[in-house]
Structure 1
Amino acid sequence: MKPARFRPLGGAVAVALTAGLFAAPAALADTTGPRVTGTTASPQPRNLSAGTATDACDATTAPGWIGLTSGGPTLRAGVASDTAGSLSAAFSVRDLTTSAAAFDGTVQAYGGTATTTVPGLADGHSYAWNARALQGAETSEASPDCHFKLDLAGPQAAVSSTDFPASGSGQTPLKYAGDTGTFLLTGADPVPAGGEASGIACYRYALNSTTGVGGGCTGAVVPGPNGTGTLTLRVPQWGTNVLTVEAVDNAGNVSQSATYTFYAPSNPNPPQALGDVDADGVPDILLPDAAGNLQIISAAAAAATPTSVVPATAAPDQTSWTGFQLAHRGWRGHAPMDDVLMHEPGSSALYFYNNTDAGAFTQYPGTVRRPVSCKDAAGITMTCPADYARDWSRADQLVALGSLNTQLNPSLLTVENGDLWLFPNPGLNSSLTTARKLTTGGSWTGYDLVAPGRDGAGNLALWARERATGALHAYAIPKLADGTFDFTALAAPAAGVVATGFTVDAYPVLGSSGDGDGDTVPDLWAVTADRHLLTYQGLTNPKDLGVLA
């Protein structure tokens, strides 16, 4: 046999071949004959808890785990030669747990890659393997040893809770629908005789899901050293709920689903807060994320992390919430959670979401009819102007102004052809019979509307950002002795400057969800150009909640 000549290379090299990326050996042959250019196992050994994946082709890197696979792990070796002729690879696998040979086999290489599947390896054992390149009578030196461990048994998962006991247990729930409860997640990763188990990496979960739990450990509960995890979860839905939990071990094996059914009783004294969408008694900020999902963020939150996320498929167009104007302040005839109005500028349709599921958006929204009768600013019936549209396509902006009655029904304010129009109770189609034109002359062009809702005395207001200057204006809409409201301040949009510096470039989005901090004064919120969410105390003392998703 002709001896091979070798030259050490400085450091490990990753070589991309047609079959994928290979972990290169620390030293490769400098020869015109056969050589190993890289080795890798599939699936790549990993440790989910550490967030690492490695073939551990050196003497110091901790090996990762390979889970249950069909037929056993697949080993690949890249092989090459500077001389013509077919190439093969000889694989050698050793069981480090028993110090015995586990597999030896030679396979033909195709396209510079030799691949073999290794059957019959033992659960819980540690392995080392390498490969040699063969061409005719020549054989290269062995590649450096790579390492992995095997975990071939899935973990187990179980759920319990004293806040929301399991249905049929005879125990009384301590919390109501809309409350946050604690669920104890327990599990085990069986340890095989004479071997190791990879251990539980996470518990992933889904509440009342029709699509399953979902893959990976992103957003999952990470257990403590004893394998137990604590899930703190808000339960918005009244009645029977189903929590599904799966344990995932460090090798990626997934347990059978643990299904936990429990009952959440209706709160006889639910919290009420105009601006609240998810029934926790605190107003909410509704903003799309970068992927088009809808984030529900508490206006009292300390960070921009949403309390829940509505998928993009629940949007009126079933693709994205981005581009829709969302307005909410008030409800009609159901639990005290804001109904939500949705409109895409230029669209003829105004959508209405009847919020009976604490902001889960499980129902497809209906549409709101446009009134055919009009009133003037004084509330006197008049003939609708010639430029009054029969659909919502001319509504450049819309905000939920606030409730105009004791039933806390929502009302809608729009900008159309530069004027303000008021629509009482827009969520109730049968009562949406009149549109009231509050201004004339088209002077509201160039303003971004913000509706802060009621103050502690029941008065309303409107805020507006002048786009050209960044000035913020405030217009009082006081409640009169007869229960009606005085809208005369809206006739002069240039009046009432209360702050400056809110330029469109610096703050592309301004809004208000009402009183977020509980001091009876409505509060502003803003999104900066770099997508930081700011909340204010009234109109001052901004607090940066961090970057939005």
Structure 2
Amino acid sequence: MSATMGGRLAATLGAAAVVLMTIGVPTATADGGQSAVTDPKAVPSPGSLATGGSTDACDDTTAPGWITTGEPTLTARTTAPGARFKVWNAAGDKVFDHTAQTAADGTVQVRPTGLAEGAGYSWQVWPDYGPGGGKPTAACHFGIDATAPQFTVESTDFPASGSGATPLKYAGQTGTFTLKGTDQGSGVACYQYVLNGTMSVGSPCQGAGTVAAGADGTATLRLRPTQWGTNVLTVQAVDKAGNTTPPVSYTFFAPSNPNPPVAPGDVNGDGVPDILLPDAAGNLQIISADATTTAPTSTVAAVRAPGGAGWNGVQLLHRGWDRAHAPVDDLIAHQPGGANLSLYRNFDMGGFARGVISFGRDVNPFDPPVLPEGFNADWSKATQLVPLGALGADQRTSILTVEDGNLWLFTDPAPLYDYNTFVRLSTSGAWAGYDLVAPGKAADGSLALWSRNRATGELRTYPIAKRADGTYDFAALADPAAGTVIGTFPVAEYPTLGSSGDGDGDGKPDLYAVTADRHLLTFSGVTDPKDLGVLR
């Protein structure tokens, strides 16, 4: 190749690109008639994970790809009885020159051996004694990188176990992990990682648990260990040629927070209420109520839902916790028509992976109480359930249900949420046409219920006053039409309404909505909507 051609390629690839063509490589074409050799290809095909494509770069402008072996197979098609293959290195030195016979199907191939790792290999093929005046193929190009990168993992927030350094963060808090890699060939493309789990099998540098490396081979992870004690971050590096390191384990200790934040509605321990919504695949997304996008902070797999078939259609409640763990919400789930509720105690900051407990209604068959008229023996007729939060000294939530069109209140849960106090709050049956929303307590301790009239879209509020003796007055809930209208949210436009409490930190509960096209909106109170984007 001429010096002018080499300079033109360098300008095309840019200063940041690895120039695989340099001096001494033959020109891409030769004078004369049509070539009797076509379709030159290297096997494996040269590619780059940085671009996601592969190319033989048989021109003077395309950035060449990489292969992971020093013994590639070079192929072509020819009408001649044979073909001559030549290979040059980056310095322009010929490192391979061999003639091979053409197969019956018109293909011809050779396999150079002992090619050293590095950029800048170029090759061409000439017909051997064939027609066409001996014109070669265009010059094709590749680099060789057969060695995986090297890398380290560092964190001052969660230092490696045995380092002697003290963690700066607690379990439930987000820490920074720095990945520093070097690669002598193609360069580091990405890192794949998993916290306290097994590395997934799939395409390199794609999917969840992947972070792209910068030009210097460095990447930063912001991870939130949810379990206190020993944690293991597993990482592997992948270079642009596709070489992957074995998984490396980074073990660290996350201490328990002696002063955890307390925010009813919070499931992951960051002190901010969370919105729990299923994705299209049935996984449960945990989205912070103060988020700016719909990207979840974590997800709970579909198989953990009651029945194992996903969280879509399951009624979810969270607004309280038991004292056996940090002050983060437990999760209660109900499959419509199911006789029992499913309790997921939150020992792992929103992972809900410590098992599930099924419970019914606590009616002692040996000493039955005097049951209110219309009382149902199980939860099967509860068409709606919403959590009011803790109404007494205990931090477990009380629950409002709609059954046969009437409101029922369940309070004073036993240690594993068996509710042994219940009362009917309405008798008209009119609540069947309303969607309930429990906004939780405001900063001043006031409590209310919101409801949406499904026929008109009107959203009403009903005060639940606290009496001098510490109990609550639910008289305002006798008639759904008696509430004060605070907005209009037609069902056709907003199929889902909910509230996880105070998401914007102003001391007042906030509404969220999912639109008909699956956009998640968050509000300040019930106004000033913010579109976080489309849910997954």
CA–CA separation in structure 1 for the residues paired with 2:326 and 2:277: 23
Q: Are 2:161 and 1:167 equivalent residues in the alignment?
A: yes
SS in 2 for 1:533: strand
CA–CA separation in structure 2 for the residues paired with 1:290 and 1:80: 52
Q: Are the aligned partners of 1:108 and 1:114 in contact in 2 as well (CA < 8 Å)? A: yes
Map of 1:339 onto structure 2: 330
What is the CA-CA distance between 1:249 and the residue it aligns to? 0.8
Q: Are the aligned partners of 2:406 and 2:424 in contact in 1 as well (CA < 8 Å)? A: yes
What are the equivalent positions in structure 2 for 1:294-373 lying under 5 Å apart?
A: 294-333=284-323, 334-372=325-363
What is the CA-CA distance between 1:108 and the residue it aligns to? 4.1
Q: Are the aligned partners of 1:157 and 1:245 in contact in 2 as well (CA < 8 Å)? A: no
What are the equivalent positions in structure 2 for 1:75-154 lying under 5 Å apart?
A: 92=85, 94-97=87-90, 99-102=93-96, 104=98, 105-106=100-101, 108=103, 120-129=114-123, 143-154=137-148
Q: Are the aligned partners of 1:213 and 1:245 in contact in 2 as well (CA < 8 Å)? A: no
What is the CA-CA distance between 1:337 and the residue it aligns to? 0.5
Q: Match for 1:166: what amino acid?
A: A
For the structure 1 residues 91 and 281, does the alpha-carbon distance in structure 2 shift closer, same or farther, using more than 3 Å as the test? farther
SS in 2 for 1:221: strand
Map of 2:468 onto structure 1: 481
CA–CA separation in structure 1 for the residues paired with 2:65 and 2:117: 14
CA–CA separation in structure 2 for the residues paired with 1:188 and 1:405: 58
Map of 2:23 onto structure 1: none
Deviates more, 1:227-236 or 1:326-335: 227-236
Q: Are 2:204 and 1:216 equivalent residues in the alignment?
A: yes
Q: Match for 2:448: what amino acid?
A: A
For the structure 1 residues 319 and 156, does the alpha-carbon distance in structure 2 shift closer, same or farther, using more than 3 Å as the test? farther
Map of 1:13 onto structure 2: none
Q: Match for 1:444: what amino acid?
A: W
Q: 2:178 aligns with which of 184, 187, 191?
A: 184
SS in 2 for 1:292: coil
- Superposed CA offset, 1:431-471 (max 9, x none): 42344322223211122111111112323221111111111
For the structure 1 residues 325 and 431, does the alpha-carbon distance in structure 2 shift closer, same or farther, using more than 3 Å as the test? closer
CA–CA separation in structure 2 for the residues paired with 1:313 and 1:72: 46
- Superposed CA offset, 1:132-172 (max 9, x none): 899x9889976544432221000112111111111111111
Q: Match for 1:397: what amino acid?
A: Q
Map of 2:237 onto structure 1: 247
Residue identity (%)? 53
Map of 2:492 onto structure 1: 505
What are the equivalent positions in structure 2 for 1:464-475 lying under 5 Å apart?
A: 464-475=451-462
Question: What is the TM-score of this pair, normalised by structure 1?
Answer: 0.81
What is the CA-CA distance between 1:304 and the residue it aligns to? 1.9
Q: Are 2:226 and 1:236 equivalent residues in the alignment?
A: yes
What are the equivalent positions in structure 2 for 1:371-410 lying under 5 Å apart?
A: 371-372=362-363, 382-383=370-371, 385=373, 388-410=375-397
CA–CA separation in structure 2 for the residues paired with 1:414 and 1:133: 83
CA–CA separation in structure 1 for the residues paired with 2:127 and 2:399: 75
Map of 1:279 onto structure 2: 269
SS in 2 for 1:444: helix
SS in 1 for 2:477: helix
Map of 1:207 onto structure 2: 195
CA–CA separation in structure 2 for the residues paired with 1:450 and 1:89: 79
Q: Are 2:475 and 1:491 equivalent residues in the alignment?
A: no
CA–CA separation in structure 1 for the residues paired with 2:511 and 2:436: 12
Map of 2:11 onto structure 1: none
For the structure 1 residues 159 and 489, does the alpha-carbon distance in structure 2 shift closer, same or farther, using more than 3 Å as the test? same
Q: Are 2:43 and 1:45 equivalent residues in the alignment?
A: no
SS in 1 for 2:176: strand
Q: Are 2:68 and 1:67 equivalent residues in the alignment?
A: yes
Q: Are the aligned partners of 2:191 and 2:213 in contact in 1 as well (CA < 8 Å)? A: yes
What is the CA-CA distance between 1:371 and the residue it aligns to? 3.2
SS in 1 for 2:476: helix
Map of 2:525 onto structure 1: 538
Q: Are 2:431 and 1:444 equivalent residues in the alignment?
A: yes
Q: Are the aligned partners of 1:438 and 1:490 in contact in 2 as well (CA < 8 Å)? A: yes
Q: Are 2:449 and 1:462 equivalent residues in the alignment?
A: yes
CA–CA separation in structure 2 for the residues paired with 1:318 and 1:489: 39
For the structure 1 residues 427 and 235, does the alpha-carbon distance in structure 2 shift closer, same or farther, using more than 3 Å as the test? farther
CA–CA separation in structure 2 for the residues paired with 1:198 and 1:152: 10
What is the CA-CA distance between 1:511 and the residue it aligns to? 0.8
Q: Are the aligned partners of 1:373 and 1:383 in contact in 2 as well (CA < 8 Å)? A: no
SS in 2 for 1:476: strand
Map of 1:266 onto structure 2: 256
Q: Which runs of 5+ in 1 are unaligned?
A: 1-24, 82-86, 192-196, 375-379
For the structure 1 residues 56 and 109, does the alpha-carbon distance in structure 2 shift closer, same or farther, using more than 3 Å as the test? farther
CA–CA separation in structure 1 for the residues paired with 2:500 and 2:74: 57
What is the CA-CA distance between 1:301 and the residue it aligns to? 1.5
SS in 1 for 2:303: helix
For the structure 1 residues 216 and 317, does the alpha-carbon distance in structure 2 shift closer, same or farther, using more than 3 Å as the test? farther
Q: Are the aligned partners of 2:320 and 2:329 in contact in 1 as well (CA < 8 Å)? A: yes
Q: Are 2:279 and 1:289 equivalent residues in the alignment?
A: yes
CA–CA separation in structure 1 for the residues paired with 2:444 and 2:81: 85
Q: Which runs of 5+ in 2 are unaligned?
A: 1-27
- Superposed CA offset, 1:16-66 (max 9, x none): xxxxxxxxx99xxx99x9985x56555543322344433323321101222
What is the CA-CA distance between 1:114 and the residue it aligns to? 7.8
CA–CA separation in structure 1 for the residues paired with 2:201 and 2:194: 5
